[in-house]
Structure 1
Amino acid sequence: MSHASRRMISRRLLYGCLATREEIKLLQKSYTNHSSEGNGPEYNYSLSGRGKRSQKSFIGQKLDIAVQGEVLYGIHPISLALRAKKRQFYQLYLKKNTAFRAEAERAIEMAAKLSVPVVSVEKGVLDKLSGSRPNQGMCMDVSELPISTISSQIWTALKESRWKHPIWLMPYNVQDPMNFGAILRTSYFLGIDHVLAPQKNSCRLSPVVSKASSGALEVINMARIEEEKDILDTLQNWKQMGGVVIAASTAVLQGSTRIPLPDLLVDKPVFLIVGNEEKGISRTVMKQCDQAVYIAGSDAGLLGSLNVSVATGIILHHLVTENERIQD
């Protein structure tokens, strides 16, 4: 279905006009195909997020660049990736004839010190590399970010916490890359010790996540948990070491308590779990939680919950405010 036809039928439905069953089916199919195809490059997992340019803006364009890995885009993700040195760096692409601000210039200097090849290209090339997402005149071809799998060695980090009562976070099966990135950004800003993410049923740690996190993905302490049983083992180990497991949830199971956020005491190491955008936290994981904490709203009848990244930020701020920082 053409864009004009899709717009015509949508407008008729908007104003209460009737459409045939065949037209509605075609409209649904058109939007499904449009959203599934996307214009995100394959090396960036074809994730959504087209920015201001439509898909047809790239019709007839060819990208004469062989991408070796995946493409980071934007000043902060590139700058922090260069600083962290966790990835391999293949090529830095800069917009031609651009006066970059100081932070971008520092990133370019870091790339030069690391002997990263730098190429000046037209804006259209950068838009194509980033899938038309905001790139601030800078893209970089890099390897995937290596994320370790949780092991017994990670527990030594409890002794190195900056908090009197360590704070760990698990975004449980959070699938939206913008939500995941926002959670990482807040966690890094507030100084959370570790973030653990399930290997399955979570979004990929893609350049979209890195951009949404403002580069926090590149520098935060993070590990993967492969299986559900590994999650349960981790939570049991946490409690055996004297910690408490907190679920951000309005639900509560027998054996645990449900309390409003202001009543949550921070007097033990805290393992916070925030749930999937739609399904929340599984029943098996909830059974391992000592408490379920919730954020009271002014009118839950009209809007019953917060976005997962917003709720996470509010709870994490409470955990650090009620804690004691013992080192930077």
Structure 2
Amino acid sequence: MTEEFIIEGRNAVLEAFRAGKTIDKLYVQDGVKDGPIQSIIREAKKQDTIVNFVSRERLNQMSEEGHHQGVIAHAAAYEYAEVEDILKAAEEKGEPPFIFLLDGIEDPHNLGAIIRTANLAGAHGVIIPKRRASGLTAVVAKTSAGALNYTPVAKVTNLAATIEELKEKGLWFVCADMNGELMYRLNLKGPVGLVIGGEGDGVGRLVREKCDMVASIPMKGDIDSLNASVAAGVLAYEIVRQRLG
């Protein structure tokens, strides 16, 4: 996180919330329960911000100014879109929706690279969950090579529930998994959501169960998995190939 996206100190954090800044995560010193801290926690709950209670030592490590007063906030570098905005973008282009959904991508470099790929593959937007995921940090913005200015990113509380809602709007979902059907054998046309999991655990069970298809990428080498952003690129371009076909 670069300096402008770490906010520390009670007044600064409270002002950020009240000014409507998007706060990705709030870190509060464990055991501190006075009035100003309670006010900050109340604002965080209103915004549905994730609150982490951590030790003073941890806050000291995170602090850039050394005056955190028991509270540090991580603010998003970019504003989040709504899922509706992504569907609207597809409608305006007269195209069937093509959306990336990312389950547990915690590395900001990977997130930035995937947003860049989504933009170039003509996807209408990216959906990320609130938990176990990188937010739109300065590193993400930089790695996306400008794509973040054009490709909307929505943040949702529950990815599985979002998939259900999008299914009702006619989308179907394919997730990447080594045990899936070879991607070349699948019909990936039409309104589609591509679900990519994080490096270690892949797509979570609840999200995988909501998917209509599971696609695998052919692997010829001696190791068993691709980097998440590369996997996203390979699958996205198979979808592009079929859509062009």
With the shorter chain as reference, the TM-score category is 0.5 to 0.7
Q: Which has the larger radius of gyration?
A: 1
3-state SS, counterpart of residue 202 of structure 2: coil
* 1:247 matched residue in structure 2: 175
2:220 is the alignment partner of 1:292: no
Q: Distance in 2 between matches of 1:188 and 1:267?
A: 18
Greater share of strand: 2
Q: How many pairs does the alignment contain?
A: 181
Where relative contact order (Cα < 8 A, 6+ residues apart) is larger, the structure is: 2
Aligned-pair identity in percent equals: 28
How far is the alpha carbon of 1:162 from its aligned partner? 5.1
Q: Distance in 1 between matches of 2:93 and 2:197?
A: 24
| Per-residue Cα deviation, 1:288-325 (whole angstroms, up to 9, x for no partner) | 011110101113xx210100001101111111111049
* 1:191 matched residue in structure 2: 122
Q: Distance in 1 between matches of 2:91 and 2:141?
A: 28
3-state SS, counterpart of residue 187 of structure 2: coil
3-state SS, counterpart of residue 112 of structure 2: helix
Cα distance change, pair 246–161 in 1 and its aligned pair in 2 (3 A) = farther
| Per-residue Cα deviation, 1:123-180 (whole angstroms, up to 9, x for no partner) | xxxxxxxxxxxxxxxxxxxx83111343x565444423453x3211112120111111
TM-score (norm 1): 0.50
Cα distance change, pair 323–203 in 1 and its aligned pair in 2 (3 A) = same
For residue 140 of structure 2, what is the amino acid of its counterpart? V
Q: Distance in 2 between matches of 1:154 and 1:192?
A: 9
* 1:145 matched residue in structure 2: 78
* 1:264 matched residue in structure 2: 186
Q: Distance in 2 between matches of 1:147 and 1:307?
A: 25
Tell me, which stretches of 5 or more residues in structure 2 are unaligned?
A: 7-11, 13-20, 22-75
In the alignment, is the contact (CA less than 8 A) between 2:182 and 2:215 conserved in 1? yes
3-state SS, counterpart of residue 186 of structure 1: helix
* 1:159 matched residue in structure 2: 91
* 2:28 matched residue in structure 1: none
For residue 143 of structure 2, what is the amino acid of its counterpart? A
Match of 1:279 among 190, 194, 201: 201
3-state SS, counterpart of residue 175 of structure 2: strand
Tell me, which stretches of 5 or more residues in structure 1 are unaligned?
A: 1-39, 46-67, 69-86, 88-142, 252-257
How far is the alpha carbon of 1:43 from its aligned partner? 3.4
Match of 2:226 among 306, 313, 319: 306
How far is the alpha carbon of 1:194 from its aligned partner? 1.4
